[in-house]
Chains A and B, each alone.
Chain A
Amino acid sequence: MLELIGAVIGRDLRLAMRRQADIVAAMFFFIIVVSLFPLGVGPEADQLRKLAPGVLWVAALLATMLSLPRMFADDHRDGTLEQLALAPQPLGLIVLGKVIAHWLVAGLPLCLLAPVLGIQFDLANDALAVLTLSLLIGTPALSGIGAIGAALTLGVRGGGVLLSLLVLPLYIPVLIFGAGAVDATVSGLGAQAHLSLLGALALGGVFFAPWPTAAALRIALE
């Protein structure tokens, strides 16, 4: 089972490495969106510190959205997906592998960039640490939930916009607890509770979402 997941991850990572430009573009999207906010709301450090958790988290949601349509589309086009669906291994596990691969490509770089961008917003060190931690815990959930939307909109016209319409409302709990964790740290309340709930969402997102995703993929392949 682990071998299968590992093989899927390895394959998807190799494919992603051939398309490095996409990864880099999503990262720059993240950086640009975050950097626009101070220009929009003004450079007062107090205000920026208050806005930072929300801005960084919303930008992270949008940046992970960018790479979601790619999750199954290429495999669908060249027929790999049909082969995977016919394989004796459960499709859900293959999807799990693809979710993890998506997170490694689209989620993890955001977590590494976030502290640097947090400095622009004058966040203190502990807040920066919690921000990174909350993104590390929360972004897997985004990949998991996003996979459902990606599978549902596979091969559908207007897929990209539709995908965001379907997925963004489902992202709300992750946004609330993720940004809330940083908020709580800034106001000195401690982020423990938020991070635990975020962890629960991430576990749920990563381990339950592959099954409806697999069902949606089978429907798309019919």
Chain B
Amino acid sequence: MSDRLINWFRYASPQTFYPLTGKLIPWFWAFAAIFAVAGLTIGFLLAPTDAQQGEGYRIIFLHVPASWLSMFIYLVMAFWAATGLAFNTRLSGMMASALAPTGALFAFLSLWTGALWGKPMWGAWWVWDARLTSELILLFLYIGFIALQAAIDDPRRADKAGAILALVGVVNVPIIYFSVKWWNTLHQGASVSLTRAPSMAAMMLWGMVLCALACWMYSIAVALMRVRTIMLERERHTDWVRALLAEKE
């Protein structure tokens, strides 16, 4: 037990974590590729046509994973932020800042694919539905996090300030979601009902889950790649970075 604990904490320092990420990243890319091929094959080649939405529903295989990931990444980011504040580990803050751009990307993709799905299905690119609005606000929260970290020069302060913002955001996201939902039910005049077909064929579900797994693996791979860059940048005065770069010559 204690052995295992020590082993895990060993990787909490950038110097040992850096080579580990180098070994792990190809694996995550490989899994991402496998899941993507499987998911997209099911979603775009094998899954049957949806009775109500025709072929346009296939956007679901992109839209739903992107939305899930955008929310999930925010939670993971907040988790790292909290660990960083609680244990004062250097790596936690780096992980949080490495995740933010990927989360923002998925939030944007969720909005983009949502708009392209909404147009043929509901006849509008955008409706002020609770889910859409919350997703937009989530994108704003990501942008706020990135902008705050970019504006602070001292990386330690940037990490901590970002951590507080991420935690405040996590508390606020449910409040925002429910307030928008409430607002939406009151204003539901001419807008369309967005309830989707309740029964989903098992194959569609599988396609969606596989695509979501692919996006998940992708996020881990990209976040690790980004955290490697951040580690080099922040630790540039240390001997291990010097040794590492000298080796590469």
Contact = CB atoms under 8 A, between A and B. Distances in A.
A212 B167 contact: yes
Interface in B118-169: 137, 140-141, 143-144, 147-148, 151-152, 156-157, 160-161, 164-165, 167-169
Contacts of A162: 144, 147-148, 151
24 contacts: A148-B164, A148-B168, A153-B148, A156-B151, A157-B151, A162-B148, A165-B140, A165-B143, A169-B141, A169-B144, A169-B176, A170-B176, A172-B137, A176-B179, A176-B180, A176-B183, A180-B186, A184-B186, A197-B182, A201-B175, A216-B161, A219-B164, A220-B161, A222-B157
A44 B219 CA distance: 51
Contacts, number: 74
Interface in B41-100: 85
A151 B157 CA distance: 12
Contacts of B140: 165, 168-169
A180 B168 contact: no
Contacts of A156: 148, 151-152
Nearest to A219: B160
Nearest to B156: A222
Contacts of A165: 140, 143-144, 147
Interface string B178-191: 01101100100000
Interface centre among A148, A156, A215 (most CB of B within 10 A): A156
Contacts of B186: 180, 183-184
A128 interface: no
Contacts of B143: 165
Contacts of B85: 215
Given A180-B186, A201-B175, 7 more contacts: A153-B148, A156-B152, A166-B148, A168-B140, A176-B180, A176-B182, A222-B156
